[in-house]
Amino acid sequence: MSTEENKAAVRRFIEQGWTQHNMAAFDEFYAPNVMHHALPPGMPPGLESVKQFASIFLNAFPDLQTTVENLVAEGNKVAYQWSAHGTHQGELLGIPPTDRQISVTGIAIERFENGKSVEHWEIFDQLGMMQQLGVIPPPGQGGD
């Protein structure tokens, strides 16, 4: 695939998978043996773990809306900045629903082979998300 086709695949995946919450989009986007470097420790590599982890977030934030803010591609890699917002209405990794709104940003890189992402790296503002959920106090408000 060309860099433009890879960029279009990322945009389509974010819209269908993360905004429309269509789990079939994960099957279309990722190779079955994808190496997803952003999974929590202990989760095995592969598409099924990616889908399991995505389901945790989509169930915790059923109104989650995700947008691609910036997108660049070179060769078989696509890097993109994303933003997401939603309401915490379901359990998230042991955190009961807070009904609080979150707004987070992140950066991800996909490496494509044969039209599918075979490797994924990602960093997002997990600390900010936890502060918005009230799980971790904001700076200057955390104790004595």
**Which tokens belong to 111?**
């490496």
140 against 29, higher pLDDT: 29
pTM: 0.91
Number of folded domains in the chain? Answer: 1
Residue 143: pLDDT over 70: no
Q: Are 88 and 61 in contact (CB under 8 A)?
A: yes
Residue-number span of the structural domain to which 96 is assigned: 3-133
Read off φ and ψ for residue 134, nearest 5 degrees. Answer: 85, 10
DSSP 8-state class, residue 34: E
In DSSP notation, 107-134 reads EEEEEEETTEEEEEEEEE-HHHHHHHHT
The residue among 87, 98, 86, 106 whose CA lies nearest residue 136 is 98
For residue 85, the domain's CATH number is 3.10.450.50
Q: Is residue 138 part of a domain?
A: no
Tens digits of residue pLDDT in 42-85: 888 899 999 999 999 999 999 999 999 999 999 999 999 999 99
Q: Is residue 84 part of a domain?
A: yes
Q: Is residue 117 part of a domain?
A: yes
Q: Is residue 38 part of a domain?
A: yes
137 against 13, higher pLDDT: 13
Q: HSE (CB half, 13 Å, CA atoms) of 104? A: 22
Q: Is residue 139 part of a domain?
A: no
Considering the chain, what is the average pLDDT of its residues? 95
13 against 143, higher pLDDT: 13
Tokens 């959920």 found at: 133
Tokens 């490797």 found at: 119
Region 88-112: mean pLDDT is 97
Q: Is residue 116 part of a domain?
A: yes
In DSSP notation, 35-101 reads EETTSPTTPPSSHHHHHHHHHHHHHH-TT-EEEEEEEEEETTEEEEEEEEEEE--S-BTTBPP---E
